[in-house]
Amino acid sequence: MIQVERVTFRYREGTEPILRDVSLRIPAGSFVGVTGAAGSGKSTLTYLMNGIVPHCYPGDFYGTVRVAGLDTCDTALTDLARVVGSVCQDIDSQMVAAVVEDELLFGLESFAVPHDQVEGRIEGALADMGIADLRHRAIASLSGGQRQKVAIAAILALRPRVLVLDEPTAELDPASSRTVFQLLAGYARRHGATVVAVEQKIALLAEFADRIVVMEEGRVHFDDEPAAVLAHADELLSVGVNCPRSCTVMNRLRQRGAYEGPTCRTPEQAASALREVLS
C-alpha cells in the first residue's frame, strides 16, 4: 500500500536533511506505529505519505513515494486525499466548522459523497469514535480530547484506504488514549484500512501496532514487530525512546537468566510472566 524508496529530504529553509535515505514498505491492512525522539523525522515521514511533502513544504527531495500505486510527487493533493486521510498534530488548524455534524459534512460534501450515503457515513464515523452523543455540540465547547476524536471521525467518514495520524492522543489521558487506539485498530480490521500513527506513547504501539518504526536523526533505526523492537530496551533509550517499564523489567530478568520467555508487549503479559518466574 505504501512504498518509500530511498527518500532523502531537506526543507528549503533547513541546512541539513531531515530524512536520510529512508525506505519502507507497508502492506495494505497493517497498523504501523512510528516513534522517535523530537526532531528525528517522524512527522516528516508522514508528510511523505499524504503528499504534504513536497506539495506544501518544498525542498530538496530525492527518492520515490507511492501510495496505492500513486506517486505522491506527481499526484495532486486533492487526488491523494481520496486515498489518504490525515489527522495533523494541531487539531484546531484542521477544524473548519462550528458544529460537530457540520465538520463531518464538510468533507463528505467536498468529495461529493452521494446524498443517500451521507447519514450512514456520519452515524458510522461518530460511532466508530464513540462520540455519537457529540453530534450536535459546538466544537468550541469540546475538550481537547473530544476535538481530536471529532477530527478523526471526520476523516473516517470519508472511508480512506490509508489513515495517517500525527500523535492522535496528544491531548488525551491514558484511558482515552487506549480507547482511541482500540477504535482505530477496530476500524482498520473492519474496513481493511492501513493505519500509520506517529505516537510517543510506545506502550500503545506495543499493544496495538503490527509493526513499530523507530526513527533516529532522519533514518530508520528499527522497523520490526513490536516484540522484536521492545527486546532492545537499552538501545531504544539511547535513541530517545522509553521502553514500557513492564517490558524493561522482563528484559532485565532475561539478561540475568531468570526469564526465557517471549518479550512482553503489555503489562498483563509481564504480570503473567512474572508470576511464573516467582513461582
Distance between CA atoms of residues 60 and 39, nearest Å: 18
The reported pLDDT for the residue numbered 91 is 81
Per the CB < 8 A criterion, the answer to whether 182 and 168 are in contact is no
Say how far residue 89 (Cα) sits from the centre of its chain: 11
Grid cell locating 232: 532492545
The reported pLDDT for the residue numbered 154 is 94
Distance between CA atoms of residues 21 and 227, nearest Å: 25
Ranges under pLDDT 70 in the chain: none
The reported pLDDT for the residue numbered 11 is 95
Q: Whole-angstrom distance between the N-terminal and C-terminal Cα of the chain?
A: 46
The reported pLDDT for the residue numbered 176 is 83
Query: Residue holding cell 513536497?
Result: 54
Grid cell locating 119: 447519514
User: Domain 1-83+160-242 belongs to what architecture?
Assistant: 3-Layer(aba) Sandwich (3.40)
Q: For 55-70, what is each residue's pLDDT tens digit? A: 999 899 999 999 999 9
The reported pLDDT for the residue numbered 213 is 97
The reported pLDDT for the residue numbered 54 is 92
Strands 211-216 and 2-11, sheet pairing = unpaired
The reported pLDDT for the residue numbered 115 is 94
Distance between CA atoms of residues 90 and 210, nearest Å: 26
Q: How do the domains of the chain map onto residue ranges?
A: 1-83+160-242, 96-157, 244-279
DSSP-based three-state secondary structure for 175 = helix
The reported pLDDT for the residue numbered 73 is 93
Distance between CA atoms of residues 8 and 6, nearest Å: 7
